[in-house]
Amino acid sequence: MAHAESGTDEFNRFLTGLGRGVAGALFLALPMLMTMEMWYLGFYMARERLLLLLLVNFPLLVLLAHRIGFEQTFTWREALRDATIAYGIGIVTSVVVLTALGLLRGDMPTSELVGKVALQSMPASIGAMLGRSQLGHDDDEDDKETPYHGELLMMAAGALFLSLNIAPTDEMMVLAYKMTIWHALIVAVLSVALMHGFVYAVSFIGGHELSPETPWWHAFVRFTLPGYVIALSISVFALWIFERLGDSSAVEIMLSVVVLGFPASLGAAAARLIL
């Protein structure tokens, strides 16, 4: 009897996790599902880049699942299961929403249908995985202590979390076009300053918590600077994947990376709040 009740409770928790996953998928992906640039990217985006994006996404989901899966995971096999479920939720959510908005039609070429769903399923799957942490944990779960490399991974996921919503838009490129080198320098300094403030505010609770006696340069060297480098790297990757660099000059690329690095750096620094 007790075993049956335990199984029922576990199933109910799993269903709750699925519900949070769907809500999380909508939370992150809906802005992109309703963005015109993303509709066109699904049609003309180079398929090798789309494939690379999907190949990068799944290992990221597995690593996130090991940290914040639908259920508390203890093995990589369970993390793999949660990552697969999150990807499935992302695909189904993308199909349903795009169809409801009239963006998927039966007369469209198969390549366009697959491209749109595949592209949108990435942010939706990340949102599904993050839904559990965004919308609450089970009360009986304890925070996991995260090693330093795990903190860096979370910063990368946080940067990707925000940059995915901005990288495909034309407004980001317009901002980069209007900026000068001095504007870029100010944005870079502001990004680093805000990142450092977030590091101290969030304090990476459960991992490398910062005590009042910790000197400012310790967090700056171990978290802020590596975090900004990660944010810039994610920005370069996102811009390249979404074909926003094109034949731009080195200065134009640098400006675009700095612009996208602003929200990406905030996402990286606030990863503990996001994840």
Predicted confidence (pLDDT) per residue in 8-57, tens digit = 766 677 777 788 888 888 887 888 888 888 888 877 888 888 888 888 88
Residue with tokens 């978290």: 223
Q: How far is CA 251 from the centre of its chain?
A: 27
Contacts of 148 (CB under 8 A, 6+ apart): 207, 208, 222
| Closest by CA position to 89, among listed 67, 117, 108, 111 | 117
Q: What pLDDT score does 140 carry?
A: 47
DSSP 212: T
- Main-chain phi, psi angles of 130, to 5 degrees: -80, -15
> Is the pLDDT reported for residue 186 higher than 90?
yes
- Residue 203 burial by Cβ neighbours in a 10 Å radius (0-12, 13-18, 19+): middle
Query: 82-86, 92-96, 195-199 — which is least confidently predicted?
Result: 195-199
For the cut 50, the answer to whether the pLDDT of residue 229 exceeds it is yes
Q: Are 223 and 261 in contact (CB under 8 A)?
A: no
Give the residue with greater pLDDT, 96 vs 138. 96
Q: Which residue stretches of the chain are H helix? A: 2-33, 36-44, 47-68, 76-100, 110-134, 148-163, 170-178, 181-202, 216-219, 225-241, 250-269, 271-274
pLDDT given at position 153: 82
Kindly tell me if the per-residue pLDDT of 191 is higher than 90. yes
Predicted confidence at residue 62, as pLDDT, reads 85
